[in-house]
Amino acid sequence: MSKYISPEHIIFATFCILLTLVILTWIIIICKTWQLKKNAVNNQNFDQFFLSSSNLSDMKILSDNIFKCTHANIAHEGLAWINEYLHLQNEHFAFQGDAFDLLQHRLEKQLQYECYMLESGLTMLASIGSTAPFIGLFGTVLGIMNAMHNITMSGSTNLNVVAGPIGDALVATAIGIAVAVPAVLAYNFFLQDVKHQRQKLKQFTTHFLFLIESYSLSF
C-alpha cells in the first residue's frame, strides 16, 4: 500500500460501505413492503367501486379523488384522455386516428410507467445481494494481508497472535453474507409480488378498454 492510504483505512472504508448497504437494504425492504401492500389493498377496493359505477362521471370521481393505486392511475389517465379527445380532436394532430387505438396507446404508456414504479428499488436489492459478499471478501483479504504483515513485523508465530487478527478479518466476509442474504430473499419475494400485480394491472387495463368501448361513445 502507498504511504498515503494504509490497509487499516481501506478495511475501515470496507466496513463503512457494508454498513451503508445494510441500512440501504432495510430501507428498501420496509418502503417496498409498504408500497406493494398498500397498492394491492387499494387496487382491490378501487376495483369493487369502479366496476359498480354506473357512468363515466362516477368513474372519474373515483379515479381522481379516493384511491391512490396503479388501477386508479390507469383509469384516471384513460378518462383524462377521453376528455381531451372530445374537446381537442379537431385541433391537434395527436388526436387524429382511430379513437380506441389512440386510447390503447395512451394506456400502454401509462402501464409501462406504473410497472416501472412497481419495480423501482428491485435493481438496487439485486445489486446489493450480488456484490455485498465480494465487498466483504475484499475486506477479509486485506485484513488477512495486514494481519500477516503485522505478525511478520512482530516476529511471533504464537497461535494467539495469529488467530486474533485473522479472525477479525473474517468478520468482513460474515457481514457481507449477512447483508446479501436478506437482500436476495427480499428481491425474490418482491419480484413475485410485482409480477402478480403487473399481471392484474394488464387485466384491468384490458377490462377498462372493454368498458369504455361498451359505452359506444361518439368519438
Residue 37 domain flag: no
Residue 21 domain flag: no
Q: How many domains does the chain have?
A: 1
Residue 176 domain flag: yes
Q: Would you say the C-alpha torsion 91, 95, 96, 100 has a positive or negative sign?
A: negative
> Which stretch of 64-68, 100-104, 129-133, 140-144 has the lowest confidence by average pLDDT?
64-68
Contact at 8 Å (CB) between 74 and 43?
Answer: no
DSSP class of 64: I
Residue 66 domain flag: yes
How long a stretch of residues is the chain? 219
81 pLDDT higher than 70: yes
Residue 199 domain flag: yes
pLDDT tens digits for 148-206?
A: 777 777 666 666 656 666 776 788 888 899 999 999 999 999 999 999 999 999 999 99
pLDDT tens digits for 197-214?
A: 999 999 999 988 888 777
| Distance, CA of 62 to CA of 44 (rounded, Å) | 13
User: What are the cell numbers at 83?
Assistant: 376528455
Residue type, 190: F
DSSP class of 94: G
- Please report how the helices 159-214 and 7-51 are oriented relative to each other, as an axis angle in degrees rounded to 10: 20
Residue 149 domain flag: yes
CA 82, distance to chain mean position in Å, is 31
Q: What is the DSSP string of 132-197?
A: HHHHHHHHHHHHHHHHHHHHHHHT---HHHHHHHHHHHHHHHHHHHHHHHHHHHHHHHHHHHHHHH
Residue 3 domain flag: no
What is the pTM (predicted TM-score) of this model? 0.79
Short-list 45, 175, 61, 38, CA closest to 118: 38
pLDDT band (50, 70, 90) for residue 28: very high
Residue 134 domain flag: yes
Provide the domain limits for residue 127.
55-214
